[in-house]
Each structure stands twice: as C-alpha cells, then as structure tokens.
Amino acid sequence: MPTIRSRYLGDLRTEQTHVASGAVIITDAPIDNQGKGEAFSPTDSVCSALAACMFTLMGIAAQTHAIPFAGIEAEVDKFMSASPRKIQKIAIRIYGFDPALTEHQQKILERAARTCPVSLSLHPDVEQDIRFEF
C-alpha cells in the first residue's frame, strides 16, 4: 500500500491523500507561476515540511529529556531562484521557548532540529537559515 495517493485536479491544483489516515492536502501553483495561489504551493509544502520536521524532532528530544516545549512557534520564509526555478533558501525563525531553558537544554533542542530527516534530505544548494530565539 502506498504512503500517499496523489491526484491532479486540473488548473494546476493537486490533492495529496495520506493513505493511513485519510488526511488530505491540496496544493495550488503560486500566482507568480501561472497559478491561483489559493493553497500551499508544492515548494511551500517543502518549506512547511522542514519546520514541521524540526518541531517533531525537537518535541521528541523534549520528551526524552523532560524539556518544556509547549507554545513553540516558527515563521518560515521561502526564497526562490529564477533560473532554474527552485528553492534557493529557506529561512526559519523559531521562538516561544521557555525562558528558563538552560544552555544545555537549548543545545539539545537545536541539535535535534538540525538533524531532522527533511533538513538532511534537502539538496546542499538549498540554504537553510535557521534561527533559534531562546
């Protein structure tokens, strides 16, 4: 059984279905690339996946080491290059940490984020500008 079923809906829109859960994600081409921009673009999804993966690995590390982790947020910015059209840079600002975190706890969380599978899977030419505001 596949992990994801992908379907082209027309008008540069796709539907991605997570087979095990039935959860659905719709993507739309961005306005600057002939689309309507009414949903995440595929490249938006890549950038979002990086932040979500970092949060997941940080959450696992927080559970393992009893580090407070509720309320963490991130702002994600995507920068595209024109020729060839591809993600040039992903900038993520992660904030909302408990101000009482020790330097050791901060290092555990940062190390976990930087070793997430999405981060390690991105091409080395994609700059990952990750900022932690502890």
Q: Round to whole Å and give the CA distance between 73 and 6.
A: 29
Cα-based distances in Å from 15 to 11, 43, 52, 99: 12, 15, 20, 40
Query: What's the pLDDT band for 113 if we cut at 50, 70, 90?
Result: very high
pTM: 0.93
DSSP conformation class of 1: -
Q: Model confidence over 6-53: pLDDT tens digits?
A: 999 999 999 999 999 999 999 999 999 999 999 999 999 999 999 999
Residue with tokens 């950038």: 47
pLDDT tens digits along 65-93: 999 999 999 999 999 999 999 999 999 99
Cα(49)–Cα(44) distance, rounded to whole angstroms? 8
In order of their start, the domains of the chain are 4-33 (no CATH), 42-132 (3.30.300.20)
pLDDT band at 116 (very low <50, low <70, confident <90, very high): very high
Q: What is the DSSP letter of 59?
A: H
Distances (CA, A) of 17 to 4, 35, 42, 44, 46: 5, 21, 14, 17, 16
For 49-63, what is the mean pLDDT?
A: 98
| pLDDT score of 75 | 98
